[in-house]
A = this chain, B = another copy of it.
Amino acid sequence: MSHPSPTQTRDWFALPEGIIYLDGNSLGPLPRKAADRIAAAVTDEWGGMLITGWNKAGWMEMPARLGDRIGRLIGAPAGSTVLGDTLSIKVFQALAASLSLRPDRKVILSDSGNFPSDLYIAQGLIGSLGKGHELRVVAPEELGGAIDEDVAALLVTEVDYRTGRRHDMAELTRRAHEAGALAIWDLAHSAGAVPVDVGRGGADFAVGCTYKFLNGGPGAPAFIHVAPCHADAARPALAGWLGHDAPFAFEPEYRPGAGVARMRVGTPPVLQMAALEAALDIWDQVDMEVLHHRRIALSERFIEAVEATCPGLRLASPRDAQARGAQVSFHHPQGYAVMQALIAEGVIGDFRAPDILRFGITPLYIGEEGIDRAAAILSRILGSRRWDDPAFHARNAVT
């Protein structure tokens, strides 16, 4: 196919006039067709079909059907990915299953660049198990060397939420497997952002959210992929009825469903899934490799412009494009104030303590013109040093 142009893909989104949106790494924008799809789910399906929507509108199968569509974006075979719950819950499921598959090992290995919720979930699981497990957290660059035969599971987010630094999934997974450990990959900042291949990468479990680069909407459900070799062995810790082999038989004993189906828990969020479904249609019309190259070109352009015109900003992301996700971050001692000033001028990125400005580079709806304008506005703001003015802080205190 001839690939849609940047102007064409941008037009698929309902972006407010005058806004340069560089925060798709936090919440993707509204795909125009999502509004219609949700309205149909509300009025025609919920309103018109009522309870029969579970069958007639296919609600019950959506977690598997949409899971497979996400699976295609991350290199997972059909039938190995399912939707539901939140990413924290999916991390819990993957981790609990991993510990049950490695009962003689006591270490969960992660790194300090992981998103805190992943670490919290591990801490909560360890606390509630009370069996002497340990969460070992090392610096991202020390992960490979820290894998030993005590490690039950490596729990890693591929792309660092602050710096955009990207781990080498295949290499770390290989080392984990060599040591007999399992590898759980959190793809929150990877799915829809960069080419991912969990199959080739060998991931035992992969989890992620759909409201960032996949544009599924605020609070869109998470996904979990379980490698086929584990799918029938992983015992669900969250043994909800929709993961039962026969949910509507209402048997008194839990029998896990076949394969990844057992990772379903409770009633899925139909309206959120409808939004996500429309968002996923976009991915059928684009080629991730093409987007990947556009993203790298845009990221390089942004870094160059910033480094040439924005003194005081220091690149926090890896300089090597292949070692980055879809995000470019900079340090600035007044980072919070700089970001507030940017947002006030319609350039929306975000800030992470202590001093990081994050910019999501999403070629689906950001082009060269937006990148240039964002850099120019950033340069002007840095020149004005308006955060030295107390009135600026008063105006922007709430945002």
Contacts and interface: CB of A to CB of B under 8 A. Distances in A.
Contacts of A218: 45-46, 53-54, 59, 267, 270-271
A333 interface: no
Contacts of A205: none
Contacts of A350: 51
A266 B85 contact: yes
Contact of A46 (B30, B131, B236, B348): B30
Contact of A86 (B38, B59, B85): B85
A321 B245 CA distance: 36
Interface string A264-306: 0111111111010000000000000000000000000000000
A323 interface: no
A41 to B, nearest CB: 8
B238 A88 contact: yes
A51 B38 contact: no
A55 interface: yes
Nearest to A123: B254
Nearest to A103: B130
Copies in the complex: 2
Interface string A233-261: 00111111110100001111110000000
| Contact-size category for A | 35 or more
Interface of A: 14, 16, 19, 21, 23, 26-27, 29-30, 34-35, 38-39, 42-43, 45-48, 50-56, 59, 85-89, 92, 96, 100, 112, 115-117, 119-121, 123-125, 127-131, 137, 209, 211, 217-222, 235-242, 244, 249-254, 265-273, 275, 343, 348, 350, 352-353, 398-399
28 contacts: A16-B47, A23-B51, A27-B51, A27-B54, A29-B47, A30-B46, A35-B43, A35-B47, A38-B39, A38-B271, A45-B218, A46-B217, A52-B348, A85-B266, A86-B240, A87-B266, A87-B267, A88-B266, A96-B128, A100-B128, A116-B252, A120-B240, A124-B235, A130-B131, A211-B267, A217-B270, A250-B352, A271-B271
